[in-house]
Amino acid sequence: MKKVRLMSLVGVLALLSIACNTQSESKDAATSETETSALAVNESTPEAPETEMPATGNEPGIQFSEASWKAHLAKAKAEKKIIFLDAYTSWCGPCKLLQKNVFTQKEVGDLFNKEFINVKIDMEKGEGPELAMQYPLEGYPTLLFIDGDGKVVRKVLGYQTPEQLLAIGKDVKGGKI
């Protein structure tokens, strides 16, 4: 009986997510969309793009590197930086919302581009499945902060607001920012 209720709740949240995913100019509507969709973890919204757009370097927000995982680890070790890994999937609604509403924020980008090596990997493609075995995940999105030796410094599960992600980034850096 609990499974039926849970599945019904997930279905209702998915419908709310779709209904709230209409384009709106107001910030309140964007906030409502974020809150509703964040509750529907792992539910895809049809209007969201299936693939992530690569950063051009001229856009505000986090600039993600597309090098190999080994290259990221070597760079992190050489520069004494932490890797910020966005472990996502193409079907994950909250993952898409992070990309659209959080990673694109100037303040978030300013901090993360300066302090971290930023990587996002679809955990079902390319190096993703291997990394998912190395760093077991409980759900999507999972945000990992990993040192140059490949050890997880911090693991955060689920959608984060820009303010939450900024606080987490500052905390990982030990408040030295």
Give yes or no: residues 35 and 82 share one domain. Answer: no
The pLDDT score that the predictor gives to residue 2 is 54
Helix (H, G, I), strand (E, B) or coil at 165: helix
pLDDT in tens, 119-143: 999 999 999 999 999 999 999 999 9
Structure tokens at 158: 């689920």
108 and 155 in one domain? Answer: yes
7 with 70, same domain: the answer is no
What is the amino acid identity at position 119?
V
Across 87-108, average pLDDT: 96
State pLDDT tens for residues 58-69.
678 999 999 999
Check which CATH number belongs to the domain holding 161 and give it.
Answer: 3.40.30.10
In a domain? residue 122: yes
Higher pLDDT, 119 or 57: 119
Domain extent at residue 156: 48-172
37, 57: one domain: no
How many CB atoms neighbour CB 58 within 10 A?
6
Q: Are residues 84 and 168 in the same domain?
A: yes
Q: What percent of the chain has pLDDT over 70?
A: 66
